[in-house]
Amino acid sequence: MAAADQSAFFSMGDHTLQVPMQLFAENRRRLADRLREKAPHSIVVLQGGSDAHHYCSDVDYKFQQEGYFNWMFGVQEPDFYGALDVDSGKSILFIPRLPEEYIIFMGRIKSTAEFKKYYAVDEVYYVDEIKDVIKKKAPDMLLTLFGLNTDSGRTCQEAVFSGISEFNVNNKILHSEIAECRVVKTPLEIEVMRYVNKISSDAHKMVMQKLKIGMYEYQGEAIFLDYCYFVGGSRAEGYTCICASGENGAILHYGHAGAPNDKKIQSGDLCLFDMGAKYAGYTADITVTFPISKKFTDDQKAVYNAVLNARNAVIAALKPGVSWVDMHRLSFEVILTDLKKYGVLVGDVDEMIKDGIGAILMPHGLGHLLGCDVHDVGGYLEGHPARPTEAGFNRLRTARSMLAGMVVTVEPGCYFNDVVLEKTLKDAKLSKYFNVDVLNRVKTCGNVRIEDDVLITSDGCEVLTDVPRTVEEIEEFLAKDLQLDLHSLVKGSV
């Protein structure tokens, strides 16, 4: 395989991380190595993302590259195709042939030679040359990407181009192999994820410092996005920001168009902010929960510490070979035990888990794989454990055992959703576990999620996220008046 140009890299300025194109060359090498025995004399063909318009208008959405294509090539522009010769490991990009008027509206048209140098690939041609270029290479088979994303329930976009019917096309082999490659990160990928975690962590801390009683949730979102872009060079976020205060913290994916982070933050509210920057196609996913009044009440402290203790127990136990299902169960055990000690719950904790009480208070999985997608691929590939059917475990995004090099989120939570609780308390089988008087008091204190991005190492794990976590750390941090200034931070951010 030809070595990638070491001088080729992605960067958003001197103060941001330089991401070498060697990262994507290494990803291609790993994929070719996996495919060489199963599909010799074949060529992988991927189709990159395309621009999308706002309905029937001529206004584009801000483009983000499709995850698999980003993982293989790191290409930032739309309408590219890419190919990988499995035998030789050589890479090819196919770029759109742009009309002359592009120069007027969009800017200078780059040459094939410029793209070859920038993306450090072996060959570059135009999209309308795909059939002829590949035909000359005489592959036995084209490998296209087709498979189910078990988080979204949607299938990958399979590459199509004029003349593809003239080839022997196989769309069965590639998906599981490339998805498995994405599960374990290389050292270069981990470096990017450390960077995007630093930027996201620092942006969360900026929000914690700047947000005040009487401000709106979306103003916290604006502070976060401003920091990530201005300081970190992150033009995109990994997902829609969740900026929930008070009762909104019980809405797991708050922040969407129907609930757009628009509540005024009141004295006494807990703020549950779940946000992550994206850089070079890799994303962070971090949640902090903090009191807008700068001090936790006793009830807030009890719920927060139950979730924190679960987070700490999982992180202490994570290492290669550990089952994610067992980690999820551990988080239930810790949270329910602590709430029982505080008087919210009564009864046997194992019975509570069996009857689904854990899922009532934490109706999501412990976390997920993380990488080019916030819910990264590979959770339920063939040959790995299937999705559990047990109540409280059937929403897990993976049931795999941990591998060194995986990056996962650890995000236990405790939520008091009035609609869910009202239904629960009407069920005699479930209501027996609740001390209603204590529950009615505690449920008004707010909702808690603590989410860290964690790298599985050879003998344990490394927390990539760096934000205040204990009650004492959070209260001490909120009491400081740091007078943070973006312009000074740019100079000292990396």
Q: Same structural domain for residues 93 and 165?
A: yes
CATH number, domain containing residue 457: 3.90.230.10
Lookup result for tokens 């300025």: 13
> Domains in the chain: how many in total?
2
The rounded percent of the chain whose pLDDT value lies above 70 is 97
Reported as a pLDDT band with limits 50, 70 and 90, residue 481 is: confident
Q: Same structural domain for residues 177 and 72?
A: yes
Q: Is 4 part of any domain?
A: no
**Across 325-334, average pLDDT:** 98
| pLDDT higher than 60, residue 6 | no
Q: Is 463 part of any domain?
A: yes
Q: Same structural domain for residues 284 and 406?
A: yes
Q: Is 285 part of any domain?
A: yes
Q: How confident is the model over 275-315, as pLDDT tens digits?
A: 999 999 999 999 999 999 999 999 999 999 999 999 999 99
| Domain boundary pick from 158, 183, 208 | 183
Q: Same structural domain for residues 175 and 194?
A: no
Reported as type and span, the H/E element at residue 456 is: strand 452-456
CATH number, domain containing residue 103: 3.40.350.10
Reported as a pLDDT band with limits 50, 70 and 90, residue 3 is: low
Q: Is 176 part of any domain?
A: yes
Best CA proximity match to 128, nearest among 58, 79, 59: 79
Q: Same structural domain for residues 178 and 208?
A: no
| pLDDT higher than 90, residue 16 | yes
Compute the Cα dihedral for 235, 238, 240, 241 and give only its sign: negative
Are residues 474 and 294 in contact, defined by beta-carbon separation less than 8 angstroms?
no
The conformation of residue 4, written as its DSSP 8-state character, comes to: P
pLDDT of residue 5: 62
Q: Same structural domain for residues 115 and 205?
A: no
pLDDT of residue 7: 75
pLDDT of residue 494: 39
**Across 360-371, average pLDDT:** 98
| Domain boundary pick from 183, 209, 244 | 183
Q: Same structural domain for residues 197 and 79?
A: no
Q: Is 5 part of any domain?
A: no
CA 304, 310, 312 angle in degrees (round to 5)? 100
Residue-range definition of the domain harbouring residue 393? 187-491
d(CA 83, CA 143): 9
d(CA 492, CA 451): 26
How distant, in Å, are the alpha carbons of 72, 113, 369, 479 from that of 473?
40, 53, 28, 10
Q: Same structural domain for residues 171 and 277?
A: no
Q: Is 128 part of any domain?
A: yes
Tokens in use for 440? 């009615």
Buried b (16+ CB within 10 A) or exposed e, 477-487: bbeeeeeeeee
Best CA proximity match to 244, nearest among 206, 196, 211: 211
d(CA 368, CA 388): 15
Reported as type and span, the H/E element at residue 455 is: strand 452-456
Best CA proximity match to 98, nearest among 85, 73, 115, 84: 115
Q: Same structural domain for residues 155 and 290?
A: no
Residue 358 CA neighbour count, 13 Å, CB half: 32
Q: How confident is the model over 393-404, as pLDDT tens digits?
A: 999 999 999 999
- Strand residues in 276-350 grouped as ranges (E): 277-279, 282-283, 286-291
Q: Same structural domain for residues 164 and 224?
A: no
Q: What is the rounded (10 degree) CA torsion for 50, 54, 55, 56? A: -90
Best CA proximity match to 400, nearest among 451, 458, 325: 325
| pLDDT higher than 90, residue 205 | yes
Q: Same structural domain for residues 174 and 251?
A: no
Mean residue pLDDT of the chain comes to 96
Residue 392 CA neighbour count, 13 Å, CB half: 23
Are residues 455 and 461 in contact, defined by beta-carbon separation less than 8 angstroms?
yes
Q: Same structural domain for residues 108 and 194?
A: no
Residue 133 CA neighbour count, 13 Å, CB half: 22
Are residues 98 and 67 in contact, defined by beta-carbon separation less than 8 angstroms?
no
Q: Is 1 part of any domain?
A: no
Q: Is 308 part of any domain?
A: yes
* Residue 43, φ and ψ in degrees, nearest 5: -130, 130
- The shares of helix, strand and coil residues in the chain, as percent rounded to the nearest 5, are 40, 15, 45
Q: How confident is the model over 380-394, as pLDDT tens digits?
A: 999 999 999 999 999
Q: Please, which residues bridge with residue 244 across strands?
A: 272
**Across 206-232, average pLDDT:** 98
**Across 403-418, average pLDDT:** 98
| Domain boundary pick from 183, 215, 244 | 183
Residue 67 buriedness (CB in 10 A; 0-12 / 13-18 / 19+)? buried
Name 186's Cβ contacts closer than 8 Å, sequence gap at least 6: 23, 26, 27, 30, 405
3-state secondary structure at position 376: coil
The conformation of residue 13, written as its DSSP 8-state character, comes to: S
Lookup result for tokens 């808690």: 448
d(CA 47, CA 298): 54
pLDDT of residue 273: 98
- Counting DSSP H helices and E strands in the chain, the numbers are 17, 19
**Across 72-101, average pLDDT:** 97
